[in-house]
Every structure is written in C-alpha cells, then in structure tokens.
Structure 1
C-alpha cells in the first residue's frame, strides 16, 4: 500500500458549468488557488433517524438524508493570486466545480458553494500572516475520483 502525502497537493476552482461525471469535470477549466495552508476532509455522511418502539423496548434506527459535507480551507492571503480572487468571486453565489489534485496525480472533483470567505487579520505578533478562511459546502453526492496518469 502506498501512502499519499499531501505536501504538494493543489486545490483548484473551476467554473459554474454543471458537471455530473468524470468527463464533465475533466472538461472544465481550473485555476489553482495559491497558498493553501490547510484543507479539511472531503467526505459526506448520512443522517441517522430513530424512533423509540415502546412495544419492543428498543430504538429503531434508519438511514436518513445524505449530507455531502463541507470542507474548511485556510490559505495565506494573497490579493494578487488569481485562484484566490476566483474563490472570493465565487462567494457571491452559485455552485462551482473544484479539483483537488493529490501528490501522486490522482484528482478528486466535486461541486460546492462558497458560503464563507473571510480574511483573517493574522493575530498578535510579527510572525502571523493574514489568512483567507473558506468553507466549501459540497452540493452533490460522492466526490468523483480520477486515477493518476500512467507513467510513460
């Protein structure tokens, strides 16, 4: 089993073009968002519903609605970065395509809204930088995974 590190992975923002499969995601154009410092997990989960059955003396659980989840990201703020500017513009509304490229070349595609895009002031002291704190709220099911390109 190969371990994949994330130290040279990139996050890119695409367009608002509807993408429902790998071919559509790959056909979009993407701008790399620079200065990525942290990215949360890319996952979703199903809510669990339950009802108490007094006759049986137990809880009955069932699978509920699917929540595609949200991804928290932190960037070192760079007002001259085209990818960060595209992310700030995306905060004005609409769903966008995103591409997270792993170190081994695999790509994870997903659609998301940008409900939060805030500039952090950096805190106390000279060694802090301003940040761009973003939430990507995924709006569709499971992220689409593209395999790494084959080596020549």
Structure 2
C-alpha cells in the first residue's frame, strides 16, 4: 500500500468517526457539538416538500437544536445502523425514536450523506420518510402537499 493509499484510508476512518460523533451528539442533545462540527459554509438539504425541506445554511442546524429541545423534551435517540465511506463522503443509515411534545411517536429511518473538509461537515443530505415526518411535526399529509 502506498503512502497516499494509507493517508486516504486514515482520512476515511477519521471522517467515519466524525460522522458517528455528530450522530451521537444529536442523540445526546449536544447541539453545540453538532454546530461546532459544521463548517461555516456548510450546506444542508432535506428531502421532500415539507416546510423544512430544501436547501439551508448552517443556521438551520442551530435552529434544529432549539426546535429539538422543545419538540422532544425527553430526548430523541438517533442511532447509526450502518455506515459506508469513500473519500470525503460518509453515508449512514440511521433511525430516530422519541415522543414529540405533541404526543406523537417519531420513529423514522434515514439515509444521510455527509461530506467532510478538514474534519468539518460541509454538506449534509437527509433522506427520510417525509410522510411520517410531516405528520409528526406539522400534522399535514404529504400526499396532499406533494412531499
């Protein structure tokens, strides 16, 4: 194995660790850690046609921290189930579980893509069951909204 191959393997392992640390911080409600590990120029994309869908900047992450504290007063687990990485990209299959303040159980399944630069998340793409998310958070059916 050449030096560059070793360096690439090390970078992949480091990125996987960073990705898992971010997932665990979300699960633990440590949104300061999450925010601190997103680059200032990070881009976030959420699937669907929900009010939170589309492209966002880093301020979206800070807003999620506040809304999750209010929305999940007893916390919400966010568990990585599988992870694949190549280069600066880490793909994660994950699951959430928590009871929202409105009494609805939120148990969603995700496919996340994180792209890293110098150990910081510069891109986050989030795919999930948008119907379940929309019903839980907004009380709306995606079928009528076109999610």
| TM-score between both structures, scaled by the size of structure 1 | 0.29
Name the structure where strand makes up a greater proportion of residues. 1
Which protein, 1 or 2, shows the higher relative CO under an 8 Å CA cutoff with sep ≥ 6? 1
Name the structure where helix makes up a greater proportion of residues. 2
| TM-score between both structures, scaled by the size of structure 2 | 0.29
